[in-house]
Amino acid sequence: MIVPVDVDSTKPLYLQIADHITMLAVGGQLGGGTRLPASRQLAESLQVHRSTVVNAYEELKARGVIDATQGSGSYVVPGLVVSSRQAPAIMPALREPDDIVRMLWRVNRADGVISLALGLPADELMPIETYEAARSRALRRDRAEALNYEDPSGYEPLRRAIAGHLAKSGAVVDPENVIVTVGAQEALNLTARALATYGDTVLVEAPGFFLYTMNLKRLGYNVLGYRLRPSGPDWASLAGTLCQTTVGGACDSLPRPRFVLASPDFQNPTGSHWSADDRHRFVDTMQELDLQVIEDATYRDLVYDGAPQMPLLALDDDVIHIGTFSKVMMPALRIGYIVARGALREQLITLRNIACGSAYGLAQRAVTEMLVTGQYDEHVRRIQAEYRVRRDALCAALDEYMPDEVQFEKPMGGFYVWLRLPEQVNAVTLFTEALQRGIAVAPSHVFYPDGLHENAVRLSFARYNADTLRYAAKRLADLVHHMMR
């Protein structure tokens, strides 16, 4: 049996083994009745101490994953296998962000689970008919050209339409400087790879988008985080991190960050929305320090109260700006974009050509149609109204049912509520216990690049109607009350 063990991980080896075997048993790769290798044999093949495997087997026994009778071996208990539509009956003691994120996907559409954990838009709010009609028109018009390789920098009319869309928010952009990407995720990945290399220091929000942090760490970057206030960066935290990393003054032995990531519009996961003053101050500070800013505007169009502030790009055209159509329209489009200038733009186009050629040309044409005909703006207005109702319902229910010790700010836009928990309610324990009761939430430590983190969970209100959100908030609140006793 092969069990990947990571001796550098902070997770004890016996738990790594127990969690992996639990995953295999629950996932059906190890069927009921399968005999596990003897502890000595597994210890030899994994090159760990025998007591590590003995402890792992004890843990599995305690979880009800295996039956072990002295002398006759250890067997996987029958009936553990769950399909992807069922929530697992046995929850491994997950702590590592990677394991938790995999589990969140596993239960994402499981029967009986309300998942507030991931950032999916609502299925029923997707503009399927409008998109389908736009796609058919584009195919009839452009035929094979729409299905051939596309220019790796993107379909030219789409780049123009994106520049037009950005102009409405005050950013003047040359369409030449727009690069169409496979979602914002590719845009984040490409810019990170273009600007830094193994061992470099980079600065991100803490907490921040977990797939991004996971990616940067896997690229071998030294990932530092700065904290946020509801209306901007936590300036003391930013100054502290910059002093640690910026050449000059007392800090000259430490490396400069290659870039600083900022999501000023309804940040994932805190919902932070930066004030105009904070935006100006941030851009001025980074200009003074000569640090490259990457702006992630993934949630920018999802505003529910008032109007969003100007994007950082409108204040400084050296800012690299990233956007996407995933949250407003459909993630499966896989259409995002980068605005970047000069040599960096050239490098990004080459990198994306190498990475995966061109984004799907027919989808690019359909999105162009929706942008230029005004269907996109009309759709945004429709979903803003519905997401506002959902946000209000979740926040009202949290206000009503949660104990006073639980705190959150009502976000002005985006998908998320960041629920700060009292000390007695550990976020990972809450995640595990809530999942057993059919509610999935995302525990805070997956959003941090370092071990230091606020004890919180992220709840997404996008996917469910107001009644379901109220029900989920009540169940979660009952559990929190119970854990506080």
Decide if residue 73 touches ligand PLP (CB under 6 A): no
Smallest gap from Cβ 73 to ligand PLP, in A, equals 45
- Residues in 81-110 that interact with ligand PLP by CB under 6 A: none
Decide if residue 455 touches ligand PLP (CB under 6 A): no
Q: Are strands 257-262 and 293-296 parallel, antiparallel or unpaired?
A: parallel
247 touches 256 (CB < 8 A): yes
Smallest gap from Cβ 448 to ligand PLP, in A, equals 15
Cα–Cα distance measured from residue 62 to residue 58, given in angstroms and rounded to the nearest whole number:
6
Q: Which is nearer to ligand PLP, 22 or 185 (CB)?
A: 185
Contacts of 76 (CB under 8 A, 6+ apart): 25, 30, 31, 32, 33, 34, 36, 65, 66
Quick note: the x/- pattern for ligand PLP over 347-386, rule CB under 6 A, is ----------------------------------------
**Computed over its alpha carbons, how large is the radius of gyration of the chain?**
24
Q: Which is nearer to ligand PLP, 63 or 352 (CB)?
A: 352
In the chain, what is the straight-line distance between the N-terminal and C-terminal CA atoms, in Å? 43
Quick note: the x/- pattern for ligand PLP over 207-236, rule CB under 6 A, is --x---------------------------
Report which DSSP code applies to 147.
Answer: H
Decide if residue 122 touches ligand PLP (CB under 6 A): no
Smallest gap from Cβ 156 to ligand PLP, in A, equals 21
Smallest gap from Cβ 326 to ligand PLP, in A, equals 3
Decide if residue 413 touches ligand PLP (CB under 6 A): no
Cα–Cα distance measured from residue 403 to residue 255, given in angstroms and rounded to the nearest whole number:
44
List phi, psi (to 5°) of 443. Answer: -75, 150
Q: Where are the beta strands (DSSP E) in 38-170?
A: 66-69, 73-76, 114-115
Select the residue interacting with ligand PLP from 22, 189, 213, 268 (CB under 6 A): 268
Position closest to ligand PLP via CB: 183
Smallest gap from Cβ 108 to ligand PLP, in A, equals 13
DSSP letters spanning 63-89: HTSEEEETTTEEEEPTT----TTB--S
SS3 455: coil
Provide the residue type at 381 as one letter: R
Q: Which is nearer to ligand PLP, 88 or 323 (CB)?
A: 323
Decide if residue 130 touches ligand PLP (CB under 6 A): no
Decide if residue 270 touches ligand PLP (CB under 6 A): no
- Helices 466-484 and 375-401 pack at an angle, to 10 degrees, of 30
Closest CA to 334 of 356, 303, 302, 301: 356
Cα–Cα distance measured from residue 4 to residue 19, given in angstroms and rounded to the nearest whole number:
11
Decide if residue 119 touches ligand PLP (CB under 6 A): yes
Smallest gap from Cβ 10 to ligand PLP, in A, equals 26
Smallest gap from Cβ 183 to ligand PLP, in A, equals 3
Decide if residue 245 touches ligand PLP (CB under 6 A): no
- Residues in 323-342 that interact with ligand PLP by CB under 6 A: 324, 326, 331, 336
Burial class (CB within 10 angstroms; exposed 0-12, middle 13-18, buried 19+) of 242: buried
Decide if residue 180 touches ligand PLP (CB under 6 A): no
Q: Which is nearer to ligand PLP, 76 or 202 (CB)?
A: 202
Smallest gap from Cβ 45 to ligand PLP, in A, equals 39
292 touches 282 (CB < 8 A): no
Smallest gap from Cβ 118 to ligand PLP, in A, equals 8
Closest CA to 320 of 347, 301, 355: 347
Q: Which range binds ligand PLP by CB under 6 A, 147-155, 177-185, 348-356, 405-413? A: 177-185
Which residues of this protein are in contact with ligand PLP, per CB under 6 A? 119, 183-185, 188, 209, 263, 268, 296, 298, 324, 326, 331, 336
